[in-house]
Chains A and B, each alone.
Chain A
């Protein structure tokens, strides 16, 4: 069974969208002197994206439904969510507190053993605490990097 969107066609669409955004951003309402180099770059990107699209839609072939999924969203989404919340709260809550929860969350979500296994829970908690201590000594004490402490730390 053939599907319309193959990996190559998706790549072509991805490139076309990026090329189009760059073209509009560098040509629309901008000073030609200031944006000269970005305009040349955007034009080349657009031309190459068109060539890629032509190639993908004429020779690229259609996708096969039996191909493995490009992205396993079910697996990936929790990780992306942890990352997004981490970056959003980092400055407000504090680097170390956020890092503690993010590290522990990734270990809990993606560890092979059950979430409710008390032994695994304890081990992950210990690893997280040790990692945070190492991180604190390395960055705060040795490298003198003063990360934002936010409302907690």
Chain B
């Protein structure tokens, strides 16, 4: 019960203020249509750079939890999900809003998010240490394959196109090789003074996630969109919460699906919400009510996307494989504080790690309380004009990037990468695999070069990298994730073709 030993660390005035501030900011940012949780967490990383590791991670964790839940506000009030994780919430949530029951839908949303979130964090607490112990058995080849597996999974399962996903991941690896060779120390691809120290993770994170969003916001800023905000309506808080707690089946389906999807690397909240919604509809006594304002639809979707948060950190904290794109950004946050995923997190850095995990549990309570209060006053969030958001993110991205290591080159790299990613995203490439490639690239290269040296002095490099139970298992998992994604993509294509016919 290590997690209980450090529980008291969360309850300092400083940590509690960070939790409250992070939760409030996360809920507001999550509710703003067009701002993704991943970008919100990426923009926040420079601020945590100047904090103690535990404090920084507490702020990022609170933001992660709250942005996912906050996205439901715009999904319900204006039918525009604040985050991909809230797509399923909009289906019935907005219908409830149209019926004048928006406040009721928001109460369901935050109560279910809280229940799912708490269950998810317990999974994180009990599953992480044993899996971290397994990581102790890993040598250079296993660590190499783990890095490749992480990129493969997020590039295939987490992307719409297998080839584009893998290309994005490989492009990230290529970017990570800019700068000094880890073994020989000689520079590579340093064609400009701005690339002399390679690409800093946080500069890349902000560039890849924030700049495309700024450009999308300015593209959309002048368009006339039908974003009339529905009135909240009258609803008794206690009655709604009690009704929510009675919807045991929807809550269980949502939480279970969220936990399972969260543990699967690369899947993310969008899949959790949609699968839970679909299962809740299939197992409902009144499936015909779904899509017409059925509370179970909101309850299942919201409990699922928040139940996903904790488990998405299990593979991240143990094997450096994020369970969602936002978890990939959180990995960047861990690394800049000198914390590397694996068993060390639970031995050498046990205090920081457990304080962070415990804070996630407390963050759920703040998310519930602040979320329920904000539900009554959430209409104004939707009225913030796009051009103010774009300008603010633009300036914050530049200042945040500069503040990491007081380097103008980081700002240039951030802006260049961002513009490049904006055009790539228009063509169907996604930033999450690129980020993971940049983060896991150095791990893959270091261990590849070490393994190569060991292999050359033994039975040969190929046999060293492909022998042993763990290596074979990970190679099979890489192949399986590619094969599965190719299969589902082909199936989807055939379905589209038959629909067109």
Contact = CB atoms under 8 A, between A and B. Distances in A.
Interface of A: 7-8, 10-11, 14-15, 18, 22, 25-26, 30-31, 33-38, 41-42, 44-45, 48-49, 51-52, 55, 70-72, 75-76, 79-80, 83, 86-87, 90-91, 95, 99, 102-103, 106-107, 109-112, 127-128, 131, 135, 139, 143-148
Interface in B419-469: 419, 423-424, 426-429, 444-445, 448-449
A34 B140 CA distance: 19
Given A87-B412, A99-B398, A107-B391, A7 B427 contact: yes
Pairs A-B, 3 closest by C-beta atoms: A11-B427, A110-B387, A106-B391
Majority SS of interface residues in chain A? helix
5 contacts: A52-B164, A83-B415, A128-B391, A139-B403, A147-B402
A36 B188 CA distance: 11
A86 B398 contact: yes
Nearest to A37: B445
B243 interface: no
Contacts of B219: 72, 75-76
Contacts of B427: 7, 10-11, 14, 70
Given A14-B424, A111-B385, A51 B399 contact: no
Given A34-B186, A34-B188, A49 B177 contact: no
B419 A80 contact: yes
Interface in B141-189: 163-164, 166-167, 170-171, 173-174, 177, 181, 184, 186, 188-189
B406 A145 contact: yes
A38 B174 contact: yes
A77 to B, nearest CB: 11
Contacts of A91: 408
Contacts of A26: 188-189
Given A112-B221, A147-B402, A71 B423 contact: yes
B417 to A, nearest CB: 12
A7 B425 CA distance: 11
Q: For this complex, into which size category does the number of interface residues on chain B fall?
A: 35 or more
Nearest to A98: B398
B222 A102 contact: no
Interface of B: 47, 50, 163-164, 166-167, 170-171, 173-174, 177, 181, 184, 186, 188-189, 214-215, 218-219, 221-222, 385-388, 390-392, 394-395, 398-399, 402-403, 406, 408, 411-412, 415, 419, 423-424, 426-429, 444-445, 448-449
A87 B395 CA distance: 11
Contacts of A11: 164, 427-429
A38 B222 CA distance: 43
B170 A37 contact: no
A52 B402 contact: no
Nearest to A15: B167
A23 B454 CA distance: 27
Contacts of B186: 31, 34
Contacts of B444: 37
A80 B394 CA distance: 11
A131 B395 contact: yes
A109 B219 CA distance: 11
Given A11-B429, A87-B412, 6 more contacts: A36-B449, A86-B394, A109-B218, A110-B386, A112-B222, A144-B50
